[in-house]
Structure formats: structure tokens, C-alpha cells
Chains A and B, each alone.
Chain A
């Protein structure tokens, strides 16, 4: 796809994507619930979350993967991603500052395609990783 993003020639192993940093709000979680259909009360109902022993509502794992996905596609282009995988390591909490880190780990040619592998992480202000994963993009 012709999004004006990275080119295979210009990208180098060790390059990092621009960081997205975002302070998580309860409104973010309500918006994500409405857009995704995930109405698990743990993500929007403070009373229910506290009754279940949680300090407050907490973020959808897929919100974290989605936010990190936005940083990924801003860098490589949504039409170029061929694989995106994450492990959900920790819950996210309102008022945490979530920051993306995306690093190019390899360049390789396979079946005539020019691929870059990336390590992707979303972490909070204390450096705690929330989601950790990998992505691959086929670049022009």
C-alpha cells in the first residue's frame, strides 16, 4: 500500500518509532468499550470493580494492544503490517502514563518481500511493561 511511511532502504536495525504517550482516563475505557462491544464491568464500573477486589476499573488488554497498534501503524503504515502479536503482562490503571516503544530488530528479504521485524512494548511511567510483543511489516 502506498502510505507515505518507511522505506526498506531507509530503515536500520535499532531505529525507533516516534513514541506515543497517553495518560489513561476512564473516558478512554468507556469509549473503547462502546467501540469494541467489551462491556465487562471491570473496565467501566468502579463500584463493581472495587466489589471484585480491584482498586479501581482497569483497562481492556485490547485497548493497550490497540494503542500500541496506533503507534505501530503511524510508523510502518497500516497496509504494510503482516503480523502483530502481544502478550498481556500487566493490568493498566487510570492516570497511568502509557508509552509506546517500537524498535526495529531485523531486516530480511523473504519470497521477494522486504520485511522488517519490530519489538513492541507499552509501559507505564515506572517502566513496568503492560504489553510486550512483536510485529513484522513488508515495506516498499
Chain B
């Protein structure tokens, strides 16, 4: 069994630094408005372009946790960069872990904002597995998978937001 444990650790460590993919996302008004409603914001800046401009934005801004959801509504197949890496390294480690059962939990989430995201933005996201490690807790193995996605403005390459996520598989 020692060999199994060693090889499992090798597989886990092998994905550190691997890309999780490149996405191109368009930020549209309707989805941003629905998202703001869904996080129970009553602020007019998410609904009214005049209110957003008055508050100093070039266009309607997105709520702070929008980057986590924006691929759902703004990632169009025909616009995706060609030659982007395929095969998500997350699947390579989560598949074998889930085959033994257990739960996947969202442990932590962090956003670093370089400027506000606004409607009309065209953003490029590049993800990477930043760390993978295991801990024993109450007789269970906790596998931590940390990833980071850097979103930049397509036209300028300027950074917009960095999103860091920590997923936990609990055996």
C-alpha cells in the first residue's frame, strides 16, 4: 500500500503549476443585473446606466463575486481562443478521489481587484493549479486543491481581477 500512497502523492503533486484552461468572457448587462438581484443588492448602479455613470463608472459595474459566475453567461464557444490547453488537470486528481467516495467542498474564495469589471468588458482568464496538499483530520483525508485564475482585459492585457479558489475533497 505504501507504493499506492506514494504514487497517489506523485499524481497530486504532478498537477501543481498546470494550466486549467483559458477562457474568453463577454460581460453583458442582462446577466449582471440578474446576478446583482440574486445576491440581493438593491443598488441602482447595477440596473441604471445613468446611476452607474453618476457613481463614476464607465458602464454598469458587476458585483464583487461576479467573476466566479461570469463564464456561465458570457463564454461563447465560437469566441474561445484556439489552441487553448485541453484536459482539465482537476479532473485528473478529482476523478480518482471521487471514485473512492467522499465529498467535494468549496473551502475558500478570494478576489483581488485591479479595477472594477463593467458591462462591455471582454476578459481573458487563465487558470493554473497553484497548490495541492493533503491533511489528516478526524480520521479523514482532506485533499486541498488551490487554483488561481487571472483575468485581463483582452484589448490591453491589463489585469482586472485575480480569483483564487480552494476546493477540498473530504474522504
Interface-lining segment among B15-23, B59-67, B81-89? B59-67
- Report the number of A-B residue pairs with Cβ-Cβ less than 8 Å: 114
List A contacts of B113 (CB < 8 A). 81-84
Interface string of B25-68 (1 = CB under 8 A from A): 00000010011011111010100000000111100011111001
Within A66-116, which residues are at the interface with B (CB < 8 Å)? 66-67, 69-70, 72-74, 77-79, 81-88
State whether A73 and B41 are in contact (beta carbons under 8 Å apart), knowing that A81-B64, A83-B112 are contacts in the complex. Answer: yes
List A contacts of B62 (CB < 8 A). 78
Interface band, chain A: 35 or more
Interface band, chain B: 35 or more
In contact, A62 and B64 (Cβ under 8 angstroms)? no
In contact, A88 and B108 (Cβ under 8 angstroms)? yes
A77 to B52, CA, bound (A): 11
A91 to chain B, nearest CB (A): 10
Residues of A within 8 A of B (CB): 1-4, 20, 22, 28, 31-32, 34-38, 61-63, 65-67, 69-70, 72-74, 77-79, 81-88
Residues of B within 8 A of A (CB): 31, 34-35, 37-41, 43, 45, 54-57, 61-65, 68-69, 71-73, 105-113, 116, 164
